[in-house]
Structure 1
Amino acid sequence: MTSAVNSEPDVVLIGAGIMSATLGTFLKELEPSLTISTFETLEDCGLESSEAWNNAGTGHAANCEMNYTPQRADGSVDISRALEVNVEFDLSRQFWSHLVGKGAIADPRAFIHPCPHMSFVHDAANIGFLRKRFDAMSAHHCYEGMEYTEDRNKLGEWTPLVVEGRSADEPVAATRIISGTDVDYGALTRLLVSHLAAQPGCQVHYKNRVIDLVREEEKGRWLVKVQDLDSGEVHAVKAKFVFIGAGGGALPLLQKSGIPEGKGYGGFPVSGIWLRCDDPEISKRHHAKVYGKAAVGSPPMSVPHLDTRIIGGQRSLLFGPYAGFSSKFLKHGSLLDLFESVRPANIKPLLSVARDNFDLTEYLVGQLLQSESHRLATLDEYFPNADPKDWKLQVAGQRVQIIKPDVKRGGLLEFGTELVGASDQSLVALLGASPGASTAAFIAIEVLEKCFAGQLTASGWLPKLKQIIPSYGVSLIKDAELTRQIRARTAEVLKIDNATSPSATSAVRSRVDA
């Protein structure tokens, strides 16, 4: 224990990752009198999915991830989901800028760096898709500044490692947005948790595992049973509101809560491995996150990409991820996690998903059977001159995809995130994975709207929320001028690039048309 346990805090946050840190910070900003207790199983914050090497660090704004822009049956490209994710990241930028502005985060370069986001393809069919994708996206103000090229020389200027060693007759195409970012979510989590823990009434307890959740019907509170992993002692904490932000551990805790809204939910764990290069002579020649197209049947988190990473001041390259299967729900979890999550209510959804997603199963088995030579062959598609001796394996974090009950099909496998909450708004669990960390502010605001609607009034929290998030209540998808203003301001505060001027896109489009 970091200090004596507050036996009756207003809020309990389970898990000390980016989600709990973000929600806790929002709540304390909006209502300074709140008492908040955070319980984390591990010895520090941000050690699971939030840890820098456990994720790609992409400030996911749907700039480069082609899985957010599916092609319709008529050949056109649907960018609606991309736009949603794009402006959700704007909320994170505003939230972080607010904290930098008030001095809660001294230097944004401790967690965020400018890094162009690129989409890359190298066959005729996908070039046609990428061109249509560019036409649809660059026509919208949210993607002002997007560039497109099929010129090998131009691509070589953007990212030389991708071009060098490639056959001269191989067709290539790429898009680029220079206002993308690389984010160290582990560092950001530590900054947020440190700031939160320093506030009056806030406690963070490490090596403390929540082992049970019991609703007290008469008082509308939750009895949270917590075990101190050093002493073995079990503490009982009563809270008015509980947020389960425990990453892969959220599903078992949701099940323990017994709320009917969580009935039938299951989880499908996916593991991952990166290839990592720390050679400064190589990493200095690649400044981008270059995303390719997903293999058929693969989960979105397995889209191959060659990334610049800046972690702890060191510049590295990351390639992958190579997906796989493990029955663990957490990197530091148990091989029994999946089996212990099976309940009578979720057997049908689990079996239905297994039946309907054979291509995913086939893909994951293939990934598990890959040899080192197979992994390097995939790397060659993005870095033809890669030398195997420059790369080492880096184990990524675990992800648990949502399996939700469905009346028609029995069960559905979801690749996003979802909030599952009690009807009385006293408890909510965050399930799922990507784009998770990048949209933490959006998810926190969803929790506020779902569980604290009574406080979001003109005489309550609303004025302060609009100070933190100036665009709150306005659609950035529709309001072009506000989008430009918000992005210019947050780019300046966060010391990242801002390439959103209409003239930039006009110039780019004219070059393409020519």
Structure 2
Amino acid sequence: MSKPIDVVLIGGGIMSATLGTLLQRLEPGWSIEIFESLGDIAQESSNPWNNAGTGHSALCELNYTPEKNGQIDVSKAIEVNEQFQVSRQFWSYLVDEGALPDPKAFINEVPHMSFVWGEKNVDYLRRRYEALKDHPLFAGMEFSEDARTIRSWTPLLIPGRAKSEPIAATRIAAGTDVDFGALTRALIGAMTERGAKLKTDHRVVGLKRTKDGLWKIRIRHEVGGTHLEVTARFVFVGAGGGALNLLQKSRIPEIKGYGGFPISGEFLRTDNPEVVAKHQAKVYGKASVGAPPMSVPHLDTRVVNGQASLLFGPYAGFSTKYLKKGSLLDLFQALRPHNLGTFIGAGLGNLDLVKYLVTEVFATRAKKMRALREFAPTAVDADWRLITAGQRVQVMKKGADGKAVIQFGTEVVSAADGSIAGLLGASPGASTAVPIMLTLAEKCFPDKIAEWTPKLTEMVPSFGGTVGDTAATAKKTLARTAKALQIQA
């Protein structure tokens, strides 16, 4: 048996790329190998056409500011924004270091807007604006109910709309569009230059704990079907929707009771330069009743390989696959005696979600265009084509009360000794990859954190604290990272 690998990363997406990049700087002497089942990295959720590319910082996403008992709860919005600032700090460090030489290759300025219509929604957005505008991380937020002002922000929203219809929008010019595929490729490229090994077309098919505490990993080479085995001291399962099945194969007790609810999606896309020129923003609306947070409708500017396009959606659908290029058996292979109750209970407890998905699956193109025209009334059918987005798997587990729930967000599941960990869940996902991986590092390497803290603080100055505590701290941090990333503060 060959010498154990210090760190094995399963999956060539943004999470593995982020964790590997962190660990290389914290422990330069550790060996790292990445195993990706597909022929290239960043082909699933990290691919730019499989996500909306929003630098999720809660500037425009209304699902992060729910109304509770007549009050707008902004705590989640502040938390998500803080997490994105951690990612910005780490990316800025890597730009200054030279590991990410061209920030424009993965991040671009795109204003973030919220847009609603109807008196009730206008009132909600006005109160949301009042609750956020004075917070240091939301400085510069603008609010308007004036059609001419909103048209000046992004012209596509107004023409064709009834003048009597109440409308409102908020806008922050300092929003971003992020190509997580380009970022993943840059990070992994820099990792391999520092000695990490990347093996594509290598599918992990087995994980087994050895008597001496190592992990024996069985891998199938997809080209030729040959098998190999490696051992590792630490394993990270960053396989997106495939993480649940792999963690189950590891048989760690911590994965018991977990299930996954797969949700597929589609976007309408246009590359027509005349249409694209009329909408330079990411504009989020309010979700339909029963819709999951990831299905909040939004009309987005995307910048991929320097070319701007527009996406509208997502239109939720259903597939039993856990990955876009996965197997129709994925959902059934995840069923275990210990999680059957979770699957059944979560389904019965979320019948509105089930109803919504059934409705979405059978939605016609005409219905999808009508949804687009609620944002852009003059949208022409011929300008837009339907594309299939990435596959998402929502976490299903037992809640604190013992009842099965569908959890929206991400969750790190790790063995008690920290020797293996995986990431389950979806949005905000990629935008908060850095804080998620820092949390994983604290959870899996608790005896190392004190030793690592000086380097962690060098890479992420707010490590152990927050950016938005004071206006001065927020302004200084935002300005510093904006300069490094060549975006607006």
TM-score with structure 2 length normalisation? 0.99
Superposed, 1:444-455 pairs within 5 Å as: 444-455=437-448
SS in 2 for 1:344: coil
SS in 2 for 1:318: strand
Query: Residue 45 of structure 1 aligns to which amino acid in structure 2?
Result: I
Asked whether the 8 Å contact 1:247–1:330 carries over to 2, the reply is: yes
The answer to whether residue 376 in structure 2 is matched with residue 415 in structure 1 is no
Asked whether the 8 Å contact 1:349–1:406 carries over to 2, the reply is: no
- What is the CA–CA distance in structure 2 between the aligned matches of 1:321 and 1:287, rounded to whole Å? 18
Counterpart for residue 373 of structure 1:
366
Counterpart for residue 512 of structure 1:
none
Superposed, 1:103-502 pairs within 5 Å as: 103-200=98-195, 202-217=196-211, 219-406=212-399, 408-457=401-450, 460-498=451-489
- What is the CA–CA distance in structure 1 between the aligned matches of 2:347 and 2:192, rounded to whole Å? 43
Shift of 1:351: 0.4
Shift of 1:354: 0.8
The answer to whether residue 17 in structure 2 is matched with residue 26 in structure 1 is no
Shift of 1:479: 3.4
Query: Residue 370 of structure 1 aligns to which amino acid in structure 2?
Result: A
Shift of 1:275: 0.2
- What is the CA–CA distance in structure 1 between the aligned matches of 2:226 and 2:398, rounded to whole Å? 37
**Pick from 31, 44, 49: which aligns with 1:53?**
49
Listed as ranges, the gaps of 5+ residues in structure 1 are: 499-514
- What is the CA–CA distance in structure 2 between the aligned matches of 1:245 and 1:464, rounded to whole Å? 24
1:21-49 Cα shifts (integer Å, max 9, x gaps):
00000000111101001100001110000
RMSD: 1.1
SS in 1 for 2:291: coil
- What is the CA–CA distance in structure 2 between the aligned matches of 1:416 and 1:278, rounded to whole Å? 31
1:6-30 Cα shifts (integer Å, max 9, x gaps):
7521000000000000000000011
Give me the identity figure in percent: 52
Listed as ranges, the gaps of 5+ residues in structure 2 are: none
Query: Residue 473 of structure 2 aligns to which amino acid in structure 1?
Result: L
SS in 2 for 1:310: strand
Query: Residue 220 of structure 2 aligns to which amino acid in structure 1?
Result: Q
Asked whether the 8 Å contact 2:204–2:218 carries over to 1, the reply is: yes
- What is the CA–CA distance in structure 2 between the aligned matches of 1:456 and 1:231, rounded to whole Å? 42
Asked whether the 8 Å contact 1:352–1:409 carries over to 2, the reply is: no
SS in 1 for 2:204: strand
1:394-453 Cα shifts (integer Å, max 9, x gaps):
110000000012363531100100000000010111000000000000111011111112
Asked whether the 8 Å contact 1:346–1:405 carries over to 2, the reply is: no
Moved more, 279-288 or 373-382: 279-288
Shift of 1:380: 0.4
SS in 2 for 1:382: coil
- What is the CA–CA distance in structure 2 between the aligned matches of 1:287 and 1:406, rounded to whole Å? 41
Counterpart for residue 35 of structure 2:
39
Query: Residue 214 of structure 1 aligns to which amino acid in structure 2?
Result: K
Query: Residue 6 of structure 2 aligns to which amino acid in structure 1?
Result: D
Asked whether the 8 Å contact 2:319–2:328 carries over to 1, the reply is: yes
- What is the CA–CA distance in structure 1 between the aligned matches of 2:79 and 2:199, rounded to whole Å? 35
Query: Residue 484 of structure 1 aligns to which amino acid in structure 2?
Result: K
Aligned residues: 489
- What is the CA–CA distance in structure 2 between the aligned matches of 1:311 and 1:234, rounded to whole Å? 36
SS in 2 for 1:12: strand
SS in 2 for 1:345: coil
- What is the CA–CA distance in structure 1 between the aligned matches of 2:163 and 2:133, rounded to whole Å? 28
Asked whether the 8 Å contact 1:112–1:184 carries over to 2, the reply is: yes
Asked whether the 8 Å contact 2:467–2:477 carries over to 1, the reply is: no
1:360-399 Cα shifts (integer Å, max 9, x gaps):
0000000011101100000000000000000001110000
